[in-house]
Amino acid sequence: MQLKYQSLKDHVYEYIAQRIQSGRLQPGSKINEAEICKKLEISRTPTREALFQLSSDNLLDYLPRRGFTVKAFDSKKKEDYSLLLGTLDALAATLSCDLLEERDFKKLERLVDMIEEDIEAHEFTDYYAHQSEFHEYYQNKCGNTPLIDTLNSLKNGFMRQSYASDDKEKLATLLRQVNSEHRLIAELFRERDKERLEQAIRHHWRIIDFDMI
């Protein structure tokens, strides 16, 4: 019974987290608990548990009697998370570099192609899902469970909230640049060039000012 309850809580957590990541829920947006319960056909208890967990993970703010809102990151916090994620993602990449095989290289290259298709179609929610899959693929191959867990926790707390621009073509132009970096990363894995791979990934996690588009 506990397992079923926990899975419901996790389902709500992932649903809300993905909506924040995709930009459907913007910073400051109020979370409608009743709407979530109805949408997912889930009772209030696991929904509340998920919301408090999201608050603990820095995705939501909670005020008594006012409820939950999507947390906004200030520029300093974004810089701090970006630096840490870049460092740890680069570490995971260098650890996994010698462990990847031809099928892994092809998988990464396919994901880059899928990301490109998402950008050209202006499917920015799919873009986010595929770029997350790209990074998680080699991270999960690094063989260091604490590192993988830390990266997952940090990524949950670091919501880019960057894919909801009204100017779709400007956003697409920016994401083409980002995806060219994905392609370079895939090439460096194939070449097993750890030094350049580390540099490329650290650069990849720099802060991009999406507020300008």
pLDDT recorded at residue 158:
64
- Give the pLDDT confidence score for residue 160 in this predicted structure: 52
Q: Average pLDDT for consecutive 10-residue bins of the chain (213 residues)?
A: 62 85 80 92 92 87 90 78 93 98 98 97 88 96 96 72 64 92 98 98 77 38
C-beta of residue 163 within 8 angstroms of C-beta of residue 23 = yes
d(CA 37, CA 127): 27
pLDDT given for residue 212 in this prediction: 36
Domains located in the chain, CATH noted? 2-70 (1.10.10.10), 75-212 (1.20.120.530)
Tell me what pLDDT residue 81 has.
84
Can you give the pLDDT at residue 189? Answer: 99
Q: Containing H/E element for 69?
A: strand 67-70
Q: Which residues pair with 60 in a beta bridge?
A: 70
pLDDT at 208: 60
Q: What is the pLDDT of residue 198?
A: 98
Say what the alpha-carbon torsion angle 28, 40, 57, 29 is, to the nearest 10 degrees: 0
User: Which of 1, 16, 2 shows the shortest CA–CA distance to 48?
Assistant: 16
Nearest CA-CA partner of 70 in 143, 113, 19, 118: 19
Angle between helices 124-139 and 102-120 (to 10 degrees): 160
pLDDT score at 157: 63
